[in-house]
Structure 1
Amino acid sequence: MSEQKPGVDPEISEAFYGFVASNPKPTTHDGKPRLYFRAGQEHYQFAPDGSRIKLPTTFHDVVAFREAAEAGDRKLAKGDWFLAIGHTEPSTNPKTGVEETEFIASRFGHDLARMNTHVGSPRRLSQMESPNRQQPQRQVGFEPPEHDGPGHEQPARAM
């Protein structure tokens, strides 16, 4: 277990979950990489009978800078489901002059529950594809554990 220094708070951020609704647009801002895209969020409400009712999808601006922008540009495409960590900031839409809120992402990741992605670093992928790599010995099939129960069968009980 790692030891935390007294008085040092963990980094706490907001999270955003949704899908990439527009093609991500990589640009630069003050010479630094910047990524912009529109993201959609699906919303649901539980009905009194326990079923879920789909509410209208909302759309939001997502922006990333520096390394997060580069990673997002490499990883994300229109239609991908993603998770992002960051914070919200007010902004003014330059086309309409309307005050809006945008999500400034500092980290991106695919939603593995909804995306069929291959996870692994390039180093690990190259090791996995190496023809000389020895495959680990794996047990094929499943054997149930031995029971330490009574040596006789229990009679069936009527309900």
Structure 2
Amino acid sequence: MSIPTQMSLVGFIASPPELHFTKAGDECCRMRVGIEQWRKEVDGSFTKLDPTFHDMVAFESTARETYARFRKGDSFVATGYVHEYEVDGRERSVIKEEFVARKIGHNVNKTDYSVQRGRHAAERSLSSVPQLPAVGLWSGAVVSEAPQVLCRSYTGCGSLLRVA
């Protein structure tokens, strides 16, 4: 069985993300992205070239999260596909393309961040578990102390990414 793969795009946000709505009322986030370009030289070294710039779009929940979490200059990794469309020009129609991001995240190689596990983990405080009377038998020995246990009420799953 082969590993399922998808097209990906690695770059940086070149313009502030803009949140729009489709005719059906769904969220649509549009932005310009830059892709770094490198040329391998004969001696094996690499020369950095000017970046290329492209349109990127995300829809629905990906649009909401992209708009909320990304700023101009952020490095990203996105999976999705290239969408080609035709635009009427003055003299003739022009074929344009945009990358449609199905999933997007910050590039871990270029972004300092910390992950907080669980939705809204930062808003929940640790609370003590009520202590029971500390008397019990275990293997013939009397246990007189129950360990102090801290727990966190856990009502959701997912993770919250906080970028520094």
- Alignment TM-score > 0.5, same fold: yes
Rounded to whole Å, the distance in 1 between the matches of 2:124 and 2:42 is: 50
In structure 2, the CA distance between the partners of 1:44 and 1:73, relative to structure 1 (3 Å rule), is same
Gaps of 5+ in 2: 129-148, 151-164
Rounded to whole Å, the distance in 1 between the matches of 2:89 and 2:41 is: 39
Secondary structure at the aligned position of 1:98 is classed as strand
In the TM superposition, what whole-angstrom CA distance separates every residue of 1:49-95 from its partner, at most 9, and x where no partner exists?
12111122100000000111011111111000001010001023578
Q: Which residue in 1 is equivalent to 2:141?
A: none
Superposed CA RMSD: 2.7
Q: Which residue in 1 is equivalent to 2:80?
A: 86
Q: Which residue in 1 is equivalent to 2:26?
A: 32
The reply on whether 1:56 has 2:45 as its aligned counterpart is no
1:47 corresponds, among 41, 44, 47, to 41
Q: Which residue in 2 is equivalent to 1:98?
A: 94
Rounded to whole Å, the distance in 1 between the matches of 2:88 and 2:31 is: 15
Structure 1: which 4+ aligned runs deviate by more than 3 Å? 9-12, 92-97, 121-125, 127-134
Q: How does 1:8-157 map to 2 (within 5 A)?
A: 12-29=5-22, 30-93=24-87, 98-123=94-119, 125-126=121-122, 130=126
Query: TM-score w.r.t. structure 1 length?
Result: 0.68
Gaps of 5+ in 1: 1-5, 135-159
Query: TM-score w.r.t. structure 2 length?
Result: 0.66
Rounded to whole Å, the distance in 2 between the matches of 1:73 and 1:42 is: 22
How many residue pairs match? The answer is 127
AA aligned opposite 2:21: T
In structure 2, the CA distance between the partners of 1:129 and 1:93, relative to structure 1 (3 Å rule), is farther
- Once the two structures are TM-superposed, the CA of residue 121 in structure 1 deviates from its matched residue by 3.9
Rounded to whole Å, the distance in 2 between the matches of 1:56 and 1:40 is: 10
Mean alpha-carbon deviation: is it higher for 125-134 or for 16-25? 125-134
In structure 2, the CA distance between the partners of 1:130 and 1:98, relative to structure 1 (3 Å rule), is farther
- Structure having the higher strand fraction is 2
